[in-house]
Amino acid sequence: MERIAIIGCGGSGKSTIAKRLGALLDLPVTHLDAIYYDENWNPLPQDEFAAKQEKLVAGERWLIEGNYAGTLPIRLAAADTVIFLDMPAHVCLWGIVQRRWRYRGGQHHQDGVYDRITWSFVKYIWGYRTSMKPRVVAMTAEHAAHAQLVILSSRRAANQFVAQAARR
């Protein structure tokens, strides 16, 4: 595991797993929210965002967490490991509530946390497995057939995966 892409619904635990794995494997961790938004939380133009990811994946070792389906093929094509956090909606919703409590709202650029809870975000999370998961699965099959695919469907499975990585 030298080039890891972590994907999953908002609140699924991407940032947490990324920080833990990055520390264990001594990999540089990139939170896509931290590069997608500027210091004033304005989004980058799509071509600039894609170019930044192209530069990141050209490196020998990296861990990148985030969704951004429009640029997902860039990360998938270069990854040797894809971790898909396929958590149930209620787990993800609880994750965003915990994040809100931990960060007390607002944006925290250094951690890549863009902490906002809106009705549209809640609906996105609730419908992720129906609307986004099929797209993510198809893109993964198309662009990352060469990579090890790890699908984690519970917090317990995610914690066990990190524990196994620690023993390697």
Which residues constitute the domain of residue 114?
3-167
* pLDDT attached to residue 101: 64
The CATH number for 22's domain is 3.40.50.300
Residue 96 has pLDDT above 90, yes or no: no
Q: pLDDT digit string (tens) for 29-69?
A: 999 988 988 777 788 999 999 999 999 999 999 999 998 99
Rounded Cα distance, 19 and 31, in Å: 9
| pTM higher than the cut 0.75 | yes
Angle, CA of 142, 71 and 89, to the nearest 5°: 80
Q: Among 146, 110, 148, which residue's Cα sits nearest to residue 30?
A: 110
- Number of structural domains in the chain: 1
Rounded Cα distance, 79 and 130, in Å: 25
Query: Residue 5: what residue type?
Result: A
Beta bridge partners of 151: 84
Residue 103 has pLDDT above 70, yes or no: no
* pLDDT attached to residue 134: 94
